[in-house]
Amino acid sequence: MQQEVIVAGFGGQGVLLTGQLLAYAGLLEGKHVAWIPSYGPEMRGGTANCSVIISDQNIGSPLVEEPGAVLVFNQPSLEKFAKRVRSGGILLINSSIVTGEVKRQDIQVYRVPASQIAAQLGNDRVANMVLLGAYLELTGAVSTESVLKALAKVLSKGKSGLLEINRKAAEMGALAVRRSAAAEA
């Protein structure tokens, strides 16, 4: 199995960190991982994205051509990446911020009000974790526990209190896509 995912949004939304947590979680589960950030003459508020590969085998090309899933946190990223999702793949949209249409019929589109859910939890900065939780629910790429373990390693000592809200955010994200799947069925 090889999971290929792109996370895209504005700089400052935790886009690069979300990808890193996913890669780190894969590593903790003994898988092969590669994480590549977009890098360029970018600034806070500009667009940022990263690609992550999690694989049972040695990773050949570390680049993601046709992602199996894309997590979209802003409008420009929707325009840029919706067309690259592999046929049958997953497009996860933070619908609190991104309202644009998706014309493709051959992919699964999930709209999760991630920023709204995060705000209800009391910290709008965990919107990334809401969408990541939804992604994990849909793909089982890694376990939520591994992601939280990775987060615990990344967080500085004074901030370990943030773990709980991140756990809740991931759960709410998972719940949101479970509900939408149930509604369709």
H helices present in the chain, as ranges: 15-28, 75-81, 114-121, 127-139, 144-154, 162-184
Q: Does 81 bind other proteins (CB under 8 A)?
A: no
Q: Which is nearer to other proteins, 50 or 114 (CB)?
A: 50
What does the DSSP assignment read for 31-46? -EEEEEE--SS--TTS
Among 7, 13, 24, 177, binds other proteins (CB under 8 A): 24
Q: Does 156 bind other proteins (CB under 8 A)?
A: no
Distances from the Cα of 160 to the Cα of 19, 40, 164, 170, angstroms: 20, 32, 8, 16
Q: State how far Cα 57 lies from the chain centre.
A: 22
Rounded CA-CA distance 75/79 in Å is: 7
Among 20, 47, 96, 115, binds other proteins (CB under 8 A): 20
Among 41, 88, 122, 161, binds other proteins (CB under 8 A): 41
Q: Which is nearer to other proteins, 155 or 175 (CB)?
A: 155
Q: Does 62 bind other proteins (CB under 8 A)?
A: yes
Binding residues vs other proteins (CB under 8 A): 20, 23-24, 27, 32-37, 39-41, 59-63, 65
